[in-house]
Amino acid sequence: MKKVFLFSLSIMTAALLNVCAAPIDSYQKLTSAMLKGEQLAFILDLEECGGKPGMPIGYFSPSAITLFPATESVPEHATTSNLQFINHSGSPTYEYIKFTFYLDNTVVIQTSFYEAPNFKQIGESHIYTTSLGKGIYIKTPARAEKSYTFPPGWMLRPH
């Protein structure tokens, strides 16, 4: 009975997440959501990005994403990162993951591990090049109404 309940609960949760989340499947949708201040959720499947079988699946909500304009040497892109404390190979470790999104929907993911006591890098960084919807999925809460846009000068007003 308990297994049936847990199975039913997992199906309802998955259905609710699919109903309540709108996919971000292009760079244009990503930057539009950023500019509206929408909260984003990243789902990362490193195996699907070209990693080895059995690679982990991760989830996080970035607290900030930076949109960089194009320069003479670098195209426009958006970047965010995540630093988390994990147990890697039996030792306390920091895992750093950097995501760079490009206009053509290419995503470059760089992962590095660092020793917890001294922040010394463990081994080499790993770089995965993929595209939105292939190992990296971004969702934002579905909204019945349009996202709120702050009026010009709102930060200058007394609060």
Q: How is the chain split into domains, by residue range?
A: 20-69+76-142
Give, rounded to a whole angstrom, the gap between the first and last alpha carbons of the chain.
54
pLDDT at 60: 87
Number of neighbouring beta carbons within 10 Å of residue 147: 12
pLDDT at 157: 40
Rounded Cα gap, residues 101 and 87, in angstroms: 28
Is the distance from CB of 83 to CB of 94 less than 8 angstroms?
yes
Query: Mean pLDDT of residues grouped by 10 in the chain (159 residues)?
Result: 42 46 88 91 88 83 92 95 85 92 96 91 93 92 48 45
pLDDT at 142: 61
